[in-house]
Each structure stands twice: as C-alpha cells, then as structure tokens.
Amino acid sequence: MAEPVALAALAVEASFGWPAWLYARVGHPVGGFARFIGWAERRWNRTERGERARRMAGVATVTGLIGGAVLAGLLLEAAARALLGTGWWVAAALLAWPGLAARSLLDHVRPVAIALDAGDMAAARSAVAQIVGRDVAALDAGGVARAGIESLAESFCDGVVAPLFWLLLLGLPGLWAYKAINTADSLIGHREPRWRAFGWAAARTDDLLNIAPARIAGVLLCLAGGGGWRVMWRDCRAHASPNAGWPEAAMAGALGVALAGPVAYDGVVQAKAWIGAGSRPAQAGDLRRALAIYLRACGLLALIAGGVAWAR
C-alpha cells in the first residue's frame, strides 16, 4: 500500500510545502536527526582520538540513525494500521509529507529567479545564499543563475526523487532512513580534516542510497527538458559526487548551458570540472527555464507514482 501513501504525500506537499508557521511551531522532523548527529559529533569526533576510532564512531552514528529511523517508521505504520484500519494510509501520507520537498524546493529557488528578473542583484545573491554553500558576494547574474540551477537539479534527487523512491520501496521506514542519512551527509559527510574520518560512513551510505534515484532523476529531467541525453551520459562523472552529476548534467544538457566550473568557498577557489563543457554560459533567464523543466519532471514523477499505484 506504499503507492497511495506516496501519491497522497506528494499531493499534500505540492499543495502546502512545509509552511513557515508550522516550522515555527513544531520545527521539522530532520531537526531531530540533526540534533542527534550534533550530539554524536561533539562526543565522539574529538581531535585527540585516532582516525580509526573516529571512523568507527561515525559508523556507529550512522547505524544508530538508520536503526532509529526504521524503528520509528515501523511503529508509526503499525499504529496507523491499528487505529485506522483500511484508512491507515491517510495518516501514513501525512507522516510522509515532511520527507518530501518538491514544493519547498520551488519556494526556495523561485525567489532567486524573481530577483534576477527584476535585476535586483542584492536580493538575488541573498536568496541564492540560502540554498548554496559557495561564496556569492562576487557572483554576477549568470553566476547566480548557475548556482540556482545546480542546486535545483541536485536537490531534485535529494529532496524529491530519492525520498519518494525509498517510500515506494520500503514505506515510512525507508523514507525516514533515507532522510536521516541525507541529513548526516549534509552535516558531516565532508572531506575537510575535521569530518573526513567521522563523516566517512555518512557520505558513503548516502552515495549508496542515491545510486538509483540520481539516475532516475537524470532521466526525468531529460524527458521533461526534451533532450540532454548526450551531455548527461558524457558529463555525469565530471562531478565529485558519484550521483549528483547525473541530474546536473541532465539539466545542463536540457538547457544547453555549462554548469559547475570554478567555484569559491570561504575565499578559496576550487577548480571544478565543467558540466556541459562547450555550451554557452548560463544566463539569468535560464533559471526560469530550469524551473519549468523541474516542474514538468515533478509531474512525471507523480504520474509514475500514480501508475504504480494503479498497476498494483
């Protein structure tokens, strides 16, 4: 019965996102994961401990996250079935709702496009700084658009396709286990010395869980964009991540623009490879086109979820 849960959860999230007033009152479920990760990192990721010990502590943290998320998902599903009988899936859809981010992602990226359309670079830089980690102060309109497009493409996998994939496959336990690991990867799955050992398990597990969803996301973006297949296949491995390159290369190919390339973090320029090399630089209007492709891809995803539900 995962399919009606998934379709209903998609519909609720598409309608409401995760409203600011709700966040202000109850926060967000991933906040619990973040607090556990922060506690574990402070307790176990101490510089005086050896690299092996820190890596094993990271493994224990990931194991605890997955175990807790799966147990919570199983208990919630069991409670819904016991209390509501055949209507359990309605409650399950509401419990799955915050694990999806199709509307939330749109609500974060669209202000960047609006500011670019208005020529308000200060507002555009401020808006894009909310969704990317790179330095934005010196970005021109094209640089802001490129950052927004890259974040949109990558987050289509992390925030929409992958959670839905694991919800369809394993129900609430699968969805929330994925969200726990994805949260851990974003917080500690980095290569800097502080996190390299402790965050190793989080980064590798996130890579594993995104293998199929990233490729599905790339295919959906190519379908929604009416092309981009050649660039996706050629440049999907140009990204440092084994998965993020698929949706980013698909979006670059569909738009006919170059993404990635040199990026500054904390004043240090990193010479990243270009994705869509040889194409024209991204321009302000390309972010609007990327949003249109994203919306069509989300529609295709909803059709797939509905089709699976009908077939079963």
The whole-number pLDDT of residue 98 equals 95
What are phi and psi for residue 248, nearest 5 degrees? -65, -45
The whole-number pLDDT of residue 268 equals 80
The whole-number pLDDT of residue 36 equals 95
Q: How far apart (Å, rounded) are the C-alpha atoms in residues 154 and 173?
A: 23
- Residues 192-249 have pLDDT tens digits of 888 899 999 999 999 999 999 999 999 999 999 999 999 999 999 998 889 999 999 9
The whole-number pLDDT of residue 307 equals 76
| Domains: count for the chain | 1
| Average pLDDT of every residue of the chain | 92
Q: How far apart (Å, rounded) are the C-alpha atoms in residues 282 and 293?
A: 15
pTM: 0.94
Burial 257-279 (b: 16+ CB within 10 A, else e): bbbbbebeeeeeeeeeeebbeeb
Residue 16 · residue 103 · CB < 8 Å: yes
Spans of the chain below 50 pLDDT: none
The whole-number pLDDT of residue 269 equals 81
What is the per-residue DSSP string for 46-86?
-TTS-HHHHHHHHHHHHHHHHHHHHHHHHHHHHHHHHHHGG
Which residues form the domain of 261?
2-311
The whole-number pLDDT of residue 240 equals 86
Helix axes of 284-311 and 102-118: crossing angle, nearest 10 degrees: 160
Using a 10 angstrom Cβ sphere, with 0-12 exposed, 13-18 middle and 19 or more buried, the burial of residue 25 is exposed
